[in-house]
Structure 1
Amino acid sequence: MLFRKKEEIDFFQLFIRSAENSFKASNLFREAIMGTNPASYLSQIKELENIGDELTHQIFRGLNKSQVSPLAREDIMELTLRLDDVIDGLEATISRFDYLNVQHTDKYMREFSEVLMNSCDHLVSAFKLLSNKKYMQIKEHIVEINSLENEGDRLMREGIREIFTRPKDPYHDFKLKELYERMEQTTDACEDVANVLESIVLRYA
């Protein structure tokens, strides 16, 4: 009786594709924030979020099919979920511009968009290094992502402080607070990926 050889799954390449997909979404998000109608980018970013979901499913299906994996199964699952949180955060933020009917951005949002784009860029670099087992070099990107997350915290605090020290229309102020907090949560999601990568570096380096 012949047995079919199990399909080889390149988890590292799927991670890279997922990180690159998030980076592409972050570039669109940056473009949206720097433009005049952020909500008009919703469908494009939603399309990338759907691609991200499919990559997540591919990784999980691969885990079910593979007897041997390049990392602990728990690490692969955690990296996959945390990466998915990043693009979900970008989509959730741009969705809020749509259903909250926010048509204008401010300096905090513009700075947030740069933080998110740079964070996603570092994630791509980190996963490319991971695929080549260059663990020590990953640390540089982890440090940068942590620093960017701190910048996101600062932007949220300053943005909310301005809302309460210079209140305007209460409905609009509520919308701004909602957006600042959601963007900060997305920088947290990037840091969550970096934290999982750091634990892998500590065990495999």
Structure 2
Amino acid sequence: MFSLQTIFGQGKQFYALLEEAAVAAHDSTQALHAMLRESADQPALDAFKLARQRERAASEKIRQELVNSFITPIEREDIEALGSALYKIPKQVEKFADRYSLALTHLQDIDFAPRAAMLEKAAGVVVEMVRALPALKLEPMKALSDRLRSIENEADRLMLELYRDIYSGRLDPLQMFLLKEFFEILEKAIDRCQEAGVVAYEIVLKNS
């Protein structure tokens, strides 16, 4: 049975759920950065699984609330778009962690930590953007969007250094293949952060 508060409320629960999803995504990037800094022989993957579970739970709650609620603080399509973008961040991070744990013996001399640090920063800005949504103020959101774009540009520069490693001639064919694969996963994860930031910015642009 639906409660009257759920049906006729202002829908502020959506902001809380979107923030929950953004924080879970950020936590997954923090776990990845920590894993790559530590360079353990057998990385623990529990943190990534937990973050993905939290993200899935938040996404499911958002879908359910969209069914149950007559009123939403912003357009339903925008809530769905932002929720979907946030969902994809820890998905990419977990993909990297799972494959990295299997290929670690071939990647001992490759330092992915600086790139993971940029991903963590990007996800942190996404959290700030989601938290800023309820105010629907354009200037603060634009400043955050500019920060996110700057992080993405720096990440692109670091990724180019990975390509230098690929073509340096010091890697064997398997390492070259793996480096390219992991580069693409990290790049896509940062792109997912950028996509979430674009959705958040466009929501404020439309409603401010």
Other-structure match for 2:21? 18
Other-structure match for 1:152? 155
Q: Structure 1 residues 38 and 61 mapped into 2: Cα distance closer, same or farther (>3 Å)?
A: farther
Alignment of 1:55-66 (within 5 A): 55-66=58-69
Quick one: which amino acid aligns to residue 119 of structure 1? A
Runs of 4 or more above 4 Å deviation: none
Give me the TM-score of the superposition, normalised by structure 1: 0.90
Q: CA deviation at 1:98?
A: 1.9
Quick one: distance in 2 between partners of 1:105 and 1:12? Answer: 43
Alignment of 1:17-36 (within 5 A): 17-36=20-39
Quick one: distance in 2 between partners of 1:4 and 1:182? Answer: 43
Quick one: distance in 2 between partners of 1:188 and 1:166? Answer: 29
Quick one: distance in 2 between partners of 1:153 and 1:96? Answer: 22
1:28–1:41 Cα contact (<8 Å) kept: no
Other-structure match for 2:4? 5
1:37–1:104 Cα contact (<8 Å) kept: no
Q: CA deviation at 1:154?
A: 2.1
SS in 2 for 1:182: helix
Q: Report the count of equivalent residues.
A: 202
Quick one: distance in 2 between partners of 1:14 and 1:149? Answer: 26
Identical-pair percentage:
24
Q: Structure 1 residues 4 and 42 mapped into 2: Cα distance closer, same or farther (>3 Å)?
A: closer
- Counterpart of 1:121 (choices 124, 128, 137) is 124
Other-structure match for 2:93? 90
SS in 2 for 1:131: helix
- Please provide the CA RMSD for this pair: 1.9
Quick one: which amino acid aligns to residue 48 of structure 1? A
Deviations 1:79-112 (A, max 9, x none): 00000111111111111102334553634x1111
Other-structure match for 1:140? 143
Q: CA deviation at 1:202?
A: 1.7
Other-structure match for 2:44? 41
- Counterpart of 2:200 (choices 197, 201, 204) is 197
Deviations 1:41-91 (A, max 9, x none): 322211211110110010011101111101111100000000011111111
Any unmatched runs of 5+ in structure 2? none
Q: CA deviation at 1:122?
A: 0.8
Any unmatched runs of 5+ in structure 1? none
> Which shows bigger deviation, 83-92 or 146-155?
146-155
> Which shows bigger deviation, 171-180 or 56-65?
171-180
2:125–2:148 Cα contact (<8 Å) kept: yes
Q: Structure 1 residues 187 and 145 mapped into 2: Cα distance closer, same or farther (>3 Å)?
A: same
Q: Structure 1 residues 113 and 4 mapped into 2: Cα distance closer, same or farther (>3 Å)?
A: closer
Establish whether residue 104 from structure 1 lines up as the match of residue 108 from structure 2: yes
Q: Structure 1 residues 75 and 182 mapped into 2: Cα distance closer, same or farther (>3 Å)?
A: same
Quick one: which amino acid aligns to residue 86 of structure 1? I
Deviations 1:21-51 (A, max 9, x none): 1122211111101012285232221121111
Q: Structure 1 residues 58 and 33 mapped into 2: Cα distance closer, same or farther (>3 Å)?
A: same
